[in-house]
Structure 1
Amino acid sequence: MTQLSPARKPAAEPAATPPAEPGKALYGGTRSRRVTVRDIAAAKERGEKWPMLTAYDAMTASVFDEAGIPVLLVGDSMGNCHLGYESTVPVTMDEITLLSAAVVRGTDHALIVADLPFGAYQEGPVQALRNATRLVKEAGAGAVKLEGGERSAHQVELLVSSGIPVMAHIGLTPQSVHAFGGYPVQGRGEEAAQQLLRDAKAVQDAGAFAVVLEAVPAELAAEVTRSLHIPTVGIGAGAECDAQVLVWTDMAGMTAGRVPRFVKQYLALRELLGGAAKEFAEEVVAGTFPEERHTFH
């Protein structure tokens, strides 16, 4: 557990808020338009929790959109689970732009957030604006996401002032895998906790509409959530965050091998899909597919 110094006391617990009206709820409400960052802010004010999933293609995105998931992230996690890379680092702007456009085309209601990949914003605000503009104009994304707290605050500020909503990402930032030497939990210890709080406040002050907290001790994530007026999106950051996100292939049990501790698999999709493929193959070999009802004359 992160220890708080005597000089820094946790923010007071927020007053209880009434549940959202059914028609206004971010998840489960009725909506004839896309979710916007104003809807996200309103959910924070109501004390309403909401889900976010990744998506990388039109068909999968359409399923999640129909399920009412209010925010879909076209994450650079596509590198690991969609493009066959060992990490997110090799993902390019061309790849993010192509798949973001597909997700936009496959949805009607979700807010689509597109990742700025490694190397697309680290040079500074002007580079960040150029690449974020591409995601908004060419792909139709409603917002972009970038990693980093204080070090990325100037990029966030320019994007927001230019009319591009930004979701920030702090804690474990996968694009820094080489610097971290892996994927360790972030924010343990007083100094690291203080830095995470500074990072969170820096991106909020720069204008971010939400901030992802990845692989952060639950107690620290709860403190950050209480300290901010923008929503926190947790992934391995405990239950007190305003929202939760998972990579969809992890959530659905499509990922092979070991998954992170924070993942809950809601389906054994890899097993189901593999079973369907084997059944198809066996019927082809046996000559029982196609049947008459699958045949033209």
Structure 2
Amino acid sequence: MKKHNRPTVADLLSMKGGRQLTMLRVTTLEEAEAAEKAKIDIISVPPALLGPLFREAAPSSFAIPGLEYGDYVSAEEYMREAFKALKAGGDAVYCAASLQTIRRMRDEGIPVCGHVGLIPSKATWTGGFRAVGKTAASAFEIWRQTKVLEEAGAFAAEIEVVPGDVAKVISQNTSMLMISMGAGSGCDAQYLFADDVLGANRNHYPRHAKVYRDFAAENDRLQRERIAAFTEFTEDVKSGTYPEKRHLVGIDDEELKIFLHRLRSELSGA
């Protein structure tokens, strides 16, 4: 049997405790292709991005489409969307729903990546968008969440904005692949959003983000160029400068003469 050209869940788990894996959140085919060429190990994607074009752009990246919390209600709905995502080219699914839902998906063989620490969709329970695990009680609660997630059958978990020392110990004592987002280098993978890496975000950057380019400034420049080009087009149309002869399709003089003769005959009723 031909080996897959991208890693499997088993492949990723075999690398636990070895080298640090890389993970990016990408939202366009261009970003997916760039991640592929940069040899990013894992990419998080919107389910809508999946399909043949996605796999042409990123044939060897392990893709985890996110099943957004709240978009689905029952375990059956989550499972239905998970199967659709896997058929469309996903390799696993991200799910922050209940343990019951994760168990149901695991029972059907669906690889699930869960979430512990700061969970944005549930941040009201931990005091909003802030670090968690900074007290012994909070750190132990993250450990407890990790273990019940592991017992439910998740193969991986994103651990977000947790002290590095806490995240490292948790990662060393679970079989799951622990994916760090602002939780230090003691986990199994480092996760950032492409928008942050590219500097495309005009709003607040989280502390853990590292900006490598200034796409916001480049996008602003491109927008100014768009406006200028559209303005020049408008002015050319108003002045008659566009279209020029070179933009038009020509017709032989004799053919035009015949056409006009027939048209006049048609219009005159002759």
TM-score, structure 1 as length reference: 0.70
2:92 corresponds in structure 1 to 143
Picking from 5, 27, 34, the partner of 1:63 is: 34
> Is 2:47–2:66's contact at 8 Å kept on the other side of the alignment?
no
1:100 corresponds in structure 2 to 50
RMSD between superposed Cα atoms in Å: 2.6
Can you list the C-alpha shifts for 1:10-47, whole angstroms capped at 9, x where unaligned? xxxxxxxxxxxxxxxxxxxxx970221122112115x1
Can you list the C-alpha shifts for 1:195-218, whole angstroms capped at 9, x where unaligned? 110111122222222111011111
**Is 2:146 the counterpart of 1:200?**
yes
Structure 1, unaligned stretches of length 5 or more?
A: 1-30, 75-95, 288-294
2:70 corresponds in structure 1 to 119
Residue 15 of structure 2 aligns to a residue whose secondary structure is: helix
Pairing 1:224-243 to 2, within 5 Å after superposition = 224-243=170-189
Structure 2, unaligned stretches of length 5 or more?
A: 234-245, 249-270
Percent of counterpart pairs with the same letter?
27
Pairing 1:1-297 to 2, within 5 Å after superposition = 33-45=5-17, 47-74=18-45, 96-101=46-51, 103-120=54-71, 123=74, 125-137=75-87, 139-147=88-96, 152-180=98-126, 182-279=128-225, 281-282=227-228
Can you list the C-alpha shifts for 1:140-173, whole angstroms capped at 9, x where unaligned? 211101126xxx3332222122121111111111
Amino acid at match of 1:132: A
Count of residues in Structure 1 that have an aligned counterpart in Structure 2: 234
Query: Cα offset for 1:179?
Result: 4.5
How far apart, in 2, do the equivalents of 1:212 and 1:261 lie? Answer: 17
How far apart, in 2, do the equivalents of 1:39 and 1:296 lie? Answer: 56
More helix by proportion, 1 or 2?
2
How far apart, in 2, do the equivalents of 1:34 and 1:71 lie? Answer: 10
> Is 2:126–2:132's contact at 8 Å kept on the other side of the alignment?
no
How far apart, in 2, do the equivalents of 1:132 and 1:99 lie? Answer: 14
How far apart, in 1, do the equivalents of 2:80 and 2:4 lie? Answer: 31
Larger Rg: 2
> Is 1:56–1:103's contact at 8 Å kept on the other side of the alignment?
no
> Is 1:52–1:244's contact at 8 Å kept on the other side of the alignment?
yes
Deviates more, 1:186-195 or 1:220-229: 186-195
Can you list the C-alpha shifts for 1:112-161, whole angstroms capped at 9, x where unaligned? 101111224554x3333223222223x3211101126xxx3332222122
